[in-house]
Amino acid sequence: GKKINNAVSNAINSKDGNNESNIDLMLKEISTALIESDVNIKLVLNLRNKIKSKLIKSNLDGVNVKKNLIQKVVFDELVELVDTDKSDTFILTKKKLNIVMFVGLQGSGKTTSCTKFAVYYQRRGFKVGLICADTFRAGAFDQLKQNATRAKIPFFGSYTETNPIKVAQLGVEKFKREKFDLIIVDTSGRHKQEMDLFQEMVEIDQTIKPTQTIMVLDASIGQAAEIQSKAFKDSSNFGSIILTKLDGHAKGGGAISAVAITNTPIIFIGTGEHIQDFEKFQPKSFVSKLLGIGDLQGFMDHVQSLNFDNKDTLENFQRGKFTLNDFQKQMQNMLKMGPLTQIAGMIPGMGQAMEQIGEEETSNRLKRMVFIMDSMTKKELDSDGYIFVQQPERILRVARGSGTSSFEVELILYQQRMMSKIALQSKSMMDQQGQG
Ligand code: GDP
Ligand code: MG
């Protein structure tokens, strides 16, 4: 993710973006970064041509103008790719029979997502039942049973019946009789796309006639997403996608190919192993993350959800400002709030660090960050951080005062700069949305 954003900045910072060969160079760097994030090569080439023609048409001068244009075009085009107009068509109707079948490879996160999905709709007043039609994998029923029991969701499965079609049928009949309005059918997956699996899917489909089929896709699948999704689309004709494991190392670029090749929207994302790690898919937020500009939507939601006296921070942020003082308040709240894993991911650079050093050490570092900010003067805290550039001796003083190193102080200054960049970007995004 970070790479793409760097490529954009680097390409742009390379001064004279006015002649065509320089534009080509920029586009090449951006393309490489996108491909490294698992975006499909054909899509990238397409994107590149679009950007190029927009740049040439715009006939703009000046590095900054070009920079904004490129960033905007890359962002918009990627958003357009994942934001099929259909994303709002996934609506389940209460008091009607909704049968939703889950398909996907083994390990993609079907069973986990089924439960998350069930809980999501149960909370919204649906009468939900879960069926385990995976008779292939040993322990599959136990896993679903455990999940369902924990989430207090009625379930159906069998230890003795080995025919998944039969189990699915029995389960659907039972829940239908009991007037459930959302019946979720978890199916089996194999390691590879095997004919058996697809045959089984088709038969279950014909027997229970789902009103919706959802494909579960592991975000870390990378470039293989395209072939995979196409194979599943051909045999199960799913109408939407749930993208899982976006909390891990996955760059998620593969998902763009899955959407593009199948013309099917992503509706939810999985961001962890727990039931609550489940979110509605937000195209803009997804692309921001992919481009490495932090999760704007997520960050904004988080800032807004804090009940502390940080109205000023929010107001500042919306005005495109993020001072050290805001950062300090934010840090203090974060330490109170947890869970750390999710929050660290919202500070540029922290998510990655956390994966490498673990939760305890991350928590330590966060605390040291608070110490550092405690050692700053009011004047410094209220500043945008530039004061430390003008008078670098302040860095040493703060490091000594907080018992940390000047490296750590500089890191904070760097992070605060990144955050104010995000604040600025988000302001300009909001402004654009406001106009549009
Ligand atoms: P299935 O074989 O498709 O049913 O996949 P499972 O639901 O059994 O999930 C396989 C593994 O992936 C399990 O260890 C899950 O806990 C894990 N998993 C599922 N979704 C997510 C997610 O969004 N994030 C993370 N980190 N792990 C997940
Ligand atoms: Mg399973």
Ligand 1 atom closest to Cα of residue 106: 2
Task: Given the cut 0.95, state whether the ipTM is greater than it.
Answer: yes
Is 413 within 8 Å of 404 (Cβ atoms)? Answer: no
Among the listed residues 127, 121, 126, the one whose alpha carbon sits nearest the alpha carbon of residue 278? 121
pLDDT of the residue at 307: 38
Cβ < 6 A, ligand 1 pocket: 104, 106-112, 189, 216, 244-245, 247-248, 270-273, 277
Decide yes or no: CATH 3.40.50.300 for domain 86-288: yes
Of the listed ligands, the closest to the CA of 133 is: 2
- What's the gap in Å between 131 CA and the centre of ligand 1? 17
From-to residues of CATH 1.20.120.140 in the chain: 2-82
Classify strands 98-103 and 278-280 as parallel, antiparallel or unpaired.
unpaired
Ligand 1 atom closest to Cα of residue 104: 3
CATH topology of domain 2-82: Four Helix Bundle (Hemerythrin (Met), subunit A) (1.20.120)
- What's the gap in Å between 245 CA and the centre of ligand 1? 7
Q: Would you state the CATH architecture of domain 296-435?
A: Orthogonal Bundle (1.10)
For a mutational test of ligand 1's pocket, the pick from 102, 110, 112, i.e. the residue with the most ligand atoms closer than 8 A to its C-beta, is 112
Alpha-carbon Rg for the chain in angstroms = 24
Q: What is the pTM of this model?
A: 0.67
pLDDT of the residue at 308: 38
3-state helix, strand, coil in the chain (%, to 5): 60, 10, 30
Ligand 1 atom closest to Cα of residue 134: 4
Here the contacts of 170-175 (C-beta below 8 Å, separation 24 or greater) are: 171/129, 171/131, 171/132, 171/133, 172/99, 172/131, 172/208, 174/129, 175/129, 175/131
From-to residues of CATH 3.40.50.300 in the chain: 86-288
Please name the residues in contact with 272: beta carbons below 8 A apart, sequence gap of 6 or more: 247, 341, 342
Is 423 within 8 Å of 316 (Cβ atoms)? Answer: yes
- What's the gap in Å between 106 CA and the centre of ligand 2? 7
- Residue at 428: amino acid letter: S
- What's the gap in Å between 280 CA and the centre of ligand 2? 21
- Block means of pLDDT (10 residues each) for the chain, 436 residues, are 58 52 73 80 86 74 62 79 71 87 93 96 94 90 95 95 94 97 91 73 93 93 86 89 85 84 92 90 81 52 46 70 81 61 57 63 78 91 90 93 89 83 72 56
- What's the gap in Å between 244 CA and the centre of ligand 2? 13
